[in-house]
Amino acid sequence: MKVENQKAWYFVMPVLLLVAFNALIPMMTVVNYSVQETFGDNLFFWQGLDWFEKLLRSERFHAALGRQFLFTGTILAIEVPLGVIIALAMPRKGFWVPVCLVTMALPMLIPWNVVGAMWNIFTLPDIGLLGYVMNHTLGINYNMTQDPLAAWITIIVMDVWHWTSLVALLSYAGLVSIPDAYYQAAKIDGASAWSVFRFIQLPKMKQVLIIAVLLRFMDSFNIYTEPFVLTGGGPGNSTTLLSIDLEKMALGQFDLGPAAAMSLIYFAITLLASWLFYTLMTRNN
């Protein structure tokens, strides 16, 4: 006879409650907004999937989405190889290991809005160190509040400065876990430095690199604070990434319905892209 014991459910209850309150319920309120038109005095009108349809057809959304992919793609293309190179160059033992680790970790410890403010001041043409040197010493016209290209370069450099360490530190953790025996085997075979990287270091780093790429993808795709503080999405709309656009719509224009629909689509894209990334990267295992 099969004895059913349902007590196990009690043990799952706390986490179910927690997830319900911090994820499900808020998300459902967003779903609720996304299918209605909202007016003052708590007046709601059923709208169906109109907001979704309009949003998916809107050029403004397409532009923001394009900028978002451009931003994320660029920073991944820079931070991942750069992080791996830094990890390879870091010492494996001795006095310089903790020095390197702490130095690398520093940018990540700074609050995001402070990073934005720091870079904002740093790049001011009249008093910022970078801005002043560029404009007055080197004679390069650099003003990111006026020039979209300068603004783009600045937010990308800022993100690279802020987050390359994460990739580097994770890769480094993967690297130091490789036993000496592997390097010895390669040495005995007479393998080149490239072969050592390709056949020993990269495969052994793969697991942590997948995590690094995923984290960097999700974080950069959802990035808000730093570009908001640094450029505010400008000049014009040139650095208006998805999250900044969303904020403008929701809180600037108070279009709760379209903003809710956009949040859900935004969320779906992030989820889908992360899943794709993960599936592609782990395909061979």
Among 195, 236, 268, 275, binds another protein (CB under 8 A): 195
Q: Which stretch binds another protein (CB under 8 A): 103-111, 142-150, 187-195, 272-280?
A: 187-195
Alpha-carbon distance values, 172 to 81, 91, 222, 259 (Å)? 13, 10, 26, 41
End-to-end CA distance of the chain: 41
Q: Is 188 in the site for another protein (CB under 8 A)?
A: yes
- With b for 16 or more beta-carbon neighbours within 10 A and e for fewer, the 213-238 pattern comes to bbebbbbbbebbbbbbbbbbbbbeeb
Q: Is 281 in the site for another protein (CB under 8 A)?
A: no
- The token duo for 155 is 């937010």
Determine contact, residues 269/62, Cβ cutoff 8 Å.
no
> In this chain, which stretch among 105-113, 154-162, 163-171, 178-186 interacts with another protein, using CB under 8 A?
178-186
Number of residues binding to another protein, judged by CB under 8 A: 16
Give the shortest CB-88-to-another protein separation in angstroms: 17
Q: Which is nearer to another protein, 196 or 264 (CB)?
A: 196
Where does this chain touch another protein (CB under 8 A) — which range of 16-24, 63-71, 144-152, 179-187?
A: 179-187
Which residues lie across from 36 on neighbouring strands? 46
Of 67-75, 79-87, 98-106, 184-192, which segment contacts another protein by CB under 8 A? 184-192
Q: Which of 200, 215, 229, 281 binds another protein (CB under 8 A)?
A: 200
Sign, Cα dihedral of 78, 68, 238, 236? negative
3-class secondary-structure state, position 38: strand
Residues that bind another protein (CB under 8 A): 179, 181-182, 184-185, 187-191, 195, 199-200, 202-204
